Amino acid sequence: MKLYRSQDQGWLVQSSDGFQPLLSPWLELGASEPMLGPVVDEPIRFLAPVEPTKIVCVGLNFAQHAAEQGKAVPDEPVIFMKPTTSLLHPLWGILLPDQSSEVHHEGELAVVVGRRLTRASAEEAQAAIFGYTCANDVTARDIQRRDKRYTRAKGFDTFCPVGPAVALARDFAPADHTLEVRVNEEVRQRSRLDDFIFPIPQVISFISHVMTLLPGDLVLTGTPAGVGSIVPGDRVEVEIDGIGVLRSPVC
């Protein structure tokens, strides 16, 4: 089931019967299996709320993160892609690969594209945003340093947890909200979503001049400072107020 959040209707789940309300908000659910009601009376397993044809990411979009990585602030957006096979559902486990001994969390705000975009202006890009969700750009940092490229380090299966819900663009202004990443309840990253080097509409416009964006595509907008290692047994939480908490155990 896919989870959505509407300001006027609360938490909704899309099922074969249409959109149905949840009995209690996601933030109160933890890792339990919530119940649909009143139409469906069976436990459900959450899925990522999008099915993108591609996942496009922006690197070094927070100045403090660029500094902690020892990299200069770029003159234009630095983009890379994660394969769709890296997409991970809420509450499913991040699988650490044997090839890496240093895997990091990178909590991010993700944009869900709502319409086809090619060579769009910033204004057209803004109008094409369907909504926003939480994401974790999981990265094998040691591989990234060795390869000096992003694809292998960020492309492993399960390296893109997404969810738990999509906040509709009409209800959600990123600059009014805060991203926080916790590992085993310890706060690792925390930032208002108003500190981007390249504003979201500019980023989406930039990407659309390289490749056509399709409905459902994801754009990860960059991570703030505070990235750090995760190991088996950890529990990672990416929370954005107004969207919910993306929880991922580490395996």
Report pLDDT digits (tens) over 119-154. Answer: 999 999 999 999 999 999 999 999 999 999 899 999
Number of domains the chain is built from: 2
Question: For residue 40, what pLDDT is reported?
Answer: 43
Task: Return d(Cα 189, Cα 192) in angstroms, integer.
Answer: 10
Question: Do 95 and 4 belong to one domain?
Answer: no
Answer whether residue 160 shows pLDDT above 70.
Answer: yes
Question: Do 4 and 90 belong to one domain?
Answer: no
Which helix (DSSP H) or strand (DSSP E) does residue 193 occupy? none
Question: Do 83 and 199 belong to one domain?
Answer: yes
Q: What is the pLDDT of residues 70-98, one digit of tens each?
A: 777 889 999 999 999 999 999 899 999 99
Question: Do 106 and 6 belong to one domain?
Answer: no
Which helix (DSSP H) or strand (DSSP E) does residue 161 occupy? strand 160-168
Q: Which residue has the higher pLDDT, 177 or 19?
A: 177
Residue 122 burial (10 A CB sphere; 0-12, 13-18, 19+): middle
Question: For residue 6, what pLDDT is reported?
Answer: 55
Question: Do 15 and 136 belong to one domain?
Answer: no
Task: Name residue, tokens 């500190």.
Answer: 195
Structure tokens that stand for 7 in this block: 């300001």
Task: Name residue, tokens 């996601």.
Answer: 26
Q: Is the peptide bond before 161 cis (omega within 30 degrees of 0)?
A: no
204 in Cβ contact with 128 (< 8 Å): yes
The whole-chain average pLDDT of the chain stands at: 86
Task: Return d(Cα 59, Cα 93) in angstroms, integer.
Answer: 24
Question: For residue 206, what pLDDT is reported?
Answer: 98
Q: What is the pLDDT of residues 183-216, one digit of tens each?
A: 999 999 999 999 899 999 999 999 999 999 999 9
Structure tokens that stand for 57 in this block: 């990411």
Question: Do 86 and 165 belong to one domain?
Answer: yes
Question: Do 10 and 110 belong to one domain?
Answer: no
157 in Cβ contact with 166 (< 8 Å): no
Q: How many residues are present in the chain? A: 251
Average of pLDDT values for 231-251? 95
Question: For residue 66, what pLDDT is reported?
Answer: 74
Question: Do 41 and 65 belong to one domain?
Answer: no
134 in Cβ contact with 164 (< 8 Å): yes
Average the pLDDT over each of 58-62, 70-74, 108-112, 162-166 and give the range with the smallest value: 70-74
Question: Do 99 and 35 belong to one domain?
Answer: no
Question: Do 86 and 17 belong to one domain?
Answer: no
Answer whether residue 24 shows pLDDT above 60.
Answer: no
Question: Do 133 and 9 belong to one domain?
Answer: no
Question: Do 14 and 80 belong to one domain?
Answer: no
Nearest to 91 by CA among 234, 244, 238, 246: 246
Residues of the domain holding 15: 1-46
Nearest to 165 by CA among 221, 112, 92, 93: 112
**What residue spans of the chain are helical by DSSP H?**
63-68, 122-127, 141-147, 151-154, 200-208
Q: Which residue has the higher pLDDT, 126 or 5?
A: 126
SS3 206: helix
Q: Spell 79-90 as b/e; 16+ CB within 10 A means b.
A: bbbbeeebbbbb
Instruction: Give the domain CATH number at 196.
Output: 3.90.850.10
